[in-house]
Amino acid sequence: MNDKIIGILGGMGPEATAECYMKILRATNASKDQEHYRVIIDSNAKIPDRTEAIAGRGPSPVPEMVSAAKNLEKLGVDVACMPCMTAHYFIEEVQKRVSYPLMNAFLETKKYIQDAYPDVKKIGVLATTGTIQSGLFDKYLDNVDIVYPTPFTQKEKVMNAIYGENGIKSGNTNGEPLQMLKDASDELIDNGAELIISGCTEIGLVLKTYHLPTPLLDPMEVVAHVVAKESVYQKSSSM
């Protein structure tokens, strides 16, 4: 029981990586230590910024991502996840360099929405500018209408909440970042969003379901529950 080895290709960012591990722990059906999965984490905080790379202003994160992914492969993981939505822009490049499956949080989120919210037609997305510009949500959630923040709100509220001087990546997970994200969410709801996706792992550290009048979906929470299912991605099924 619970004998597969789970990998976390982390460091993007470090706190989101730690929270991903906690999500897997909470999602695992275990009554004692020995019933939990073995989880191997490579939290490589030196991976270049994904948003900057997508915008063409910074180096590609792929070499460092592949290096971390291969570390997990050497240690025998059966499946791995990446607690960074923006990093999924590069998932296919990394996947072809390793033998185990890298879980795609976008695909798992789409499946979950189809099962849990089949009547939702309009979804609001809070994510980094890089993720939005990558078109990942439009690519994978092609069965619904997607609402994004206005350019002003995206820059002044969402990106400041994540990257600002008092932002989440600076270790602030309350106060100013929370209010900015609530303001951005209110705008999406005013524009018809029936459900909000926390499309950046840092956002999930701050914005919680009880902060909003509409459902809030954290893709990494979805991934944690999928990867914690004993029958999913067993080594024997991928051979």
- Among all residues, which ones are annotated catalytic? 84, 200
Q: What is the CA radius of gyration of the chain?
A: 17
b/e map of 13-25 (b: 16 or more CB within 10 Å)?
Answer: bebbbbbbbebbe
Separation of alpha carbons 136 and 85, rounded Å = 9
Instruction: Quote the tokens at residue 45.
Output: 């905080």
C-alpha angle 89-148-158 in degrees, rounded to nearest 5: 80
Look at residue 92 and give its three-state secondary structure.
helix
